[in-house]
Amino acid sequence: MIRKFIFVTGGVVSSLGKGITTASIGMLLKSRGLKVNVMKIDPYLNIDPGTMSPYQHGEVYVTEDGAETDLDLGYYERFLDINMSKMNNFTAGQIYESVLRKERNGEYLGKTIQVIPHVTNEIKSRIKKVGETAEITIVELGGTVGDIEGLPFLEAIRQMKIDIGRENVLYVHLTLIPYIRAAEELKTKPTQQSVGKLREIGIEPDIIIARSEKPLNDDLKGKISLFCNVTKDAVMEEVDVGAGNIYAIPLILKNQGLDEIILKYLHVTSRKHELKKWEDMVESKKKYKTTVEIAITGKYTGLKDAYKSICAALIHSEYPNKTNVKIKYVDVESKSLNDDLKTADGIILPGGFGDRGIEGKIKVSQYAREKKVPFLGICLGMQCVVMDFARNACGLKNANSSEFDKNTPYPVIDYLPGQCDDTQKGGTMRLGGYPCILSKKSIAYTEYKKEKISERHRHRYEFNNKYKEILTSKGLVIAGQNGDLVEIVEVKNHPWFVATQFHPEFKSRPLNAHPLFAGLVREALIFSKKKGKK
């Protein structure tokens, strides 16, 4: 069977939504019974985003096999309901590292190493390897056309048409149609110039998807068709829908016939769509009459992409609870932290790295614990819960993590090589999926409705078991463990207070909300109603 490839590029500006568009294309094709895989290429020189600040890159997404990847892989997993792996994301850094390693090992037999063909061949090799796993592979290229670092990747995907045949390759270009308010006009010139750049490189887009604030009329589509050399029916539009409505995008594209055009170009036949559940989920959102406010408390609140998967998991939790979720970002370094939390019906304390904001995070845990607000702590959030409980419920003054204070008298969180298996997945970090056994008396067990689970991790320090006895004697509950490793803690005499060492947000799906997020939203709704009575 000949494999088919779809390449998605972006033009004019970044942040147009290539990830959502790519995921939507994949979801539509998968709904027609086709075996689909998706991958993301990032032209930056970092090996992966694991060491990058969220302000630089946004969220680092973690796959089941422990790869630290671009956040777009989260969209792929959520829209297609399939697990990605380290094969589904590679960077320029990985490509050049591989080429240089081969050169040092003499694998090029003394040849002069050049971008073409050695770098481009390495890029194509990785794309084709993923292509072996599916009938249609969709490849998203990060950045925008014209970026100097993206040129070797554009050249590689241009060559793919020659390598495997024109009928097996399709190019989709996502571009901006800006709205000029003063003139009250949508302008196509940036799109024309972006497509011109692509054509200079040798790539003729087959489909153009135009992002805009307002719908495109027939004349504008005709203009894009004429000047960009695509058929008029291959000019699609993606009008802004808002962050909470992104799951309508596949249906918007389907209604314009995007998947039909793709199948026609690639000479593929398939069955009709199976989208009834997805359509019901999207449509039901219009009918919710209640709203709960969930506070996401962190130090990267200036960049919403830093908490992308958490926001997605909250949106997924609207469907089973039949309620809207309003997300409130609260900076843990705010001087009015407690006041900022007063309107929240539920609180999430997410993960992070570094000691900045730790004291604020500990205060968030204390606030939720003492005020009986529904609470979910994640990764470092769980560790801050343990520090809060040790200090304020057990009297262990200055209890801390040895990550932040090597001289703390009570290292309730510590790096313990004997506990953390350094040989697996992340070296000195626990990365990817690990099992967890739940206590049958815990809130977590009630939510998961099973005893054994598996969740994804991204951390280095662990709960210090030397303090387990004193903490549990005062009311901390060890709700989940992986051998001697504590994975979940809860607090007695609290309606709903759960903190996990793992990242549950990575496994939430639009039609299958993660049980901990769904439980938090349900309890927030109850809490909201009680506040209303007062």
Residues with catalytic roles: 379, 503, 505
| Residue 107 CA from chain centroid, whole number | 37
Q: Tell me whether strands 324-331 and 291-298 are parallel, antiparallel or unpaired.
A: parallel
- Compute the distance between CA of residue 310 and CA of residue 288 in angstroms, rounded to an integer: 21
What Å distances lie between residue 273 and 192, 248, 511, CA to CA?
Answer: 33, 15, 16
Phi, psi of 333 (to 5 degrees): -95, 5
- Compute the distance between CA of residue 250 and CA of residue 403 in angstroms, rounded to an integer: 44
What Å distances lie between residue 229 and 18, 79, 207, 208, CA to CA?
Answer: 21, 31, 10, 10
The string of DSSP letters for 246-305 reads GGGHHHHHHHTTHHHHHHHHHT--------HHHHHHHHHGGG---EEEEEEEES-TT-GG
Identify the CA nearest to 23 among candidates 91, 73, 64, 85.
73
**Longest Cα pair distance anywhere in the chain, in angstroms?**
79
> Which residues pair with residue 136 across a beta bridge?
4, 36
- Compute the distance between CA of residue 351 and CA of residue 373 in angstroms, rounded to an integer: 19
Contact 368, 382 (CB under 8 A): no
Residue type, 114: Q
Residue 521 CB neighbours (<10 A): 28
Q: What is the SS3 assignment for 85?
A: coil
What are the tokens at 315?
């949106």
Q: Where are the alpha helices (DSSP H) in 53-183?
A: 54-57, 72-80, 92-104, 120-131, 151-164
Residue 392 CB neighbours (<10 A): 17
Contact 274, 31 (CB under 8 A): yes
Q: What is the DSSP letter of 422?
A: T
- Compute the distance between CA of residue 389 and CA of residue 157 in angstroms, rounded to an integer: 54
- Compute the distance between CA of residue 438 and CA of residue 449 in angstroms, rounded to an integer: 10
| Residue 123 CA from chain centroid, whole number | 24
Q: What is the DSSP letter of 14?
A: S
What does the CA dihedral 348, 351, 356, 360 come to, rounded to 10 degrees?
A: 20
Q: What string of H, E and C letters represents the secondary structure of 430-481?
A: EEEEEEEEECCCCHHHHHHCCCEEEEEEEECCEECHHHHHHHHHCCEEEEEE
Phi, psi of 47 (to 5 degrees): -65, -45
Q: Tell me whether strands 485-491 and 476-482 are parallel, antiparallel or unpaired.
A: antiparallel
